[in-house]
A and B are shown apart, each in its own frame.
Chain A
Amino acid sequence: EPEVTQTPSHQVTQMGQEVILRCVPISNHLYFYWYRQILGQKVEFLVSFYNNEISEKSEIFDDQFSVERPDGSNFTLKIRSTKLEDSAMYFCASSEGNRLSEQYFGPGTRLTVT
């Protein structure tokens, strides 16, 4: 069964460093999303991406964040200068369509900023 994959599973970085989180969405899906979940808190939307551009972003997704689809399979989230409060689980998700389509999550990347 097709699934969303993410790498790495765990990333430890120092404050101020840049990190890139990688995702491979399900192959026939057209809509891509990043979410984060701080330990013990709810899942929060970061950004949605369709047709090679951002279609929606939250107030969390400030200038330190960027997304890219560098080739036909990968979807990346970059955090330019990490802060302690960026420590969280980051989930990638994908769907065939948007509002009336099932959205599937990857296993997540645990980001720890020290």
Chain B
Amino acid sequence: ILNVEQSPQSLHVQEGDSTNFTCSFPSSNFYALHWYRWETAKSPEALFVMTLNGDEKKKGRISATLNTKEGYSYLYIKGSQPEDSATYLCAFHDYKLSFGAGTTVTVRA
């Protein structure tokens, strides 16, 4: 079982503040890294698929970076809003997918 770690496990952010969190993964046999947003009682929703070292992706106020050589990816949320409250999952894709346990973000109004 591959070790995909996300930190912190949870965080609380004041509305309007920016935040970021980490996904660590093995640096060998890398195919892709996926980020998902998962709201309670819903299904995971794809945010980004990152394939190249140095990749940076952006969707609205959310962005992500990738470092495959050292095995980490950061997800950033700029100007957090209450609707950003969710669990953010990363998944390391070699020939199969291995998920981290997620970072649960709670945005306080």
Chain B associates with chain A: no
- A interface residues (Cβ-Cβ under 8 A, vs B): none
